Amino acid sequence: MKPKIHILATGGTIAGVSASAVSTSYSAGRIDIDTLLATVPQVFELADISGEQFCSIGSQDMNEAIWLKLSSRINSLLSGEDCDGVLITHGTDTMEETAYFLNLTVHSEKPVILVGAMRSASAISEDGPANIYNGIVAICDPKTRGRGVLCCMNNHLIAAKDVVKQHTTYLSAFEGGNSDSVGYVFGNNVYYQRDVTSRHTVNSEFSVEGMDKLPEVGIVYGYAGCSPLPFKALVDAGFDGIVIAGVGNGNLYRDLLPYAEEAAEKSVIIVRSTRCPSGPTSLDAELNDNRYGFIASFNLNPQKSRILLMLALCRTRDRARIQEYFLQY
């Protein structure tokens, strides 16, 4: 019997239409899931496929409200007998954030894979159909179970914790950042080269069922001579947590440091991450986190640190416990 796979379409370049096959300008999220699936009829030989137009946005417009609904929909689909896996078509801009949010809030061993495209559906050599096909091949493979949420782009299967969009336009835009991809798809075969060791899905303690909003967490970008004004604005607005995309190993400019220390004293949770494209932000490097009351993000980039901190703040404000989450997830 063929596996039953449900596709949730959210928009993005994969559903985008350009003025001509060679035009660089296009609008994301213009074609619906049925039209998109008609471009890759081969998937119906692999699985019983059903499609649902979940939303139609460019993923620059993704937000927490959609994440909460998406997570709840996937949990409900996967808890039934009629669905063996979920494929999500998604814009590439925030794909890594959606993947990581679902990795922590979907509680199933069944495969959940996100795919997108770097070229619109009407461009020469569009990559969307191949990414959809490869994503379906991966979901059909029993070895994909239990690996958490994955992104399938340009043949690579990349774990949600690691995946980063590291180039604005290349087909090879997606990489694993601090880790290699977990595997790859070639033809109708899936090859896994490593396991995912961080906690996710069935081993995640985070649940957002029934929630309609998340704690407010913002990101402040570090740079030479960094003004503390954006940081102060978030504190004054009552944000629960702030992630600092620090320089190097999560360092803060000297004018920002006292404000961050004061905010941490007033129980705003401050996470140090890095604007470097790769490498961990380690505990107690040039800054003593215990002294300042900060948390180090380790292998999470600022945008994924924000997601973990929002979920952590649904459970606790205890700094040591939140630091532990950053080590485990």
User: Which residues are marked as active site?
Assistant: 13
Q: Are 64 and 71 in contact (CB under 8 A)?
A: no
Nearer to ligand GLU, 23 or 60 (CB): 60
Report the distance separating Cα 43 and Cα 136, nearest Å: 7
**CA dist., res. 104 & res. 114, Å (int):** 15
Q: In terms of CB distance, is 7 or 47 closer to ligand GLU? A: 7
As measured in angstroms, the least distance from the Cβ of 58 to ligand GLU is 4
User: Which two three-digit tokens encode residue 156?
Assistant: 């690579």
Contact positions toward ligand GLU, by CB under 6 A?
Answer: 11-13, 28, 58-60, 91-93, 116, 118
285 DSSP 8-state letter: S
Residue type, 155: N
Q: Which residue is nearest to ligand GLU (CB)?
A: 91
DSSP state of 223: -
Q: Which is nearer to ligand GLU, 12 or 177 (CB)?
A: 12
Which residue's CB is nearer to ligand GLU, number 168 or number 266? 168
Task: Output the CA–CA distances (angstroms, integers) from residue 136 to 117, 157, 205, 246, 301, in the order listed.
Answer: 15, 12, 28, 38, 28
Q: Which residue reads 């009407």 in tokens?
A: 122
110: which 2 tokens? 């069944």
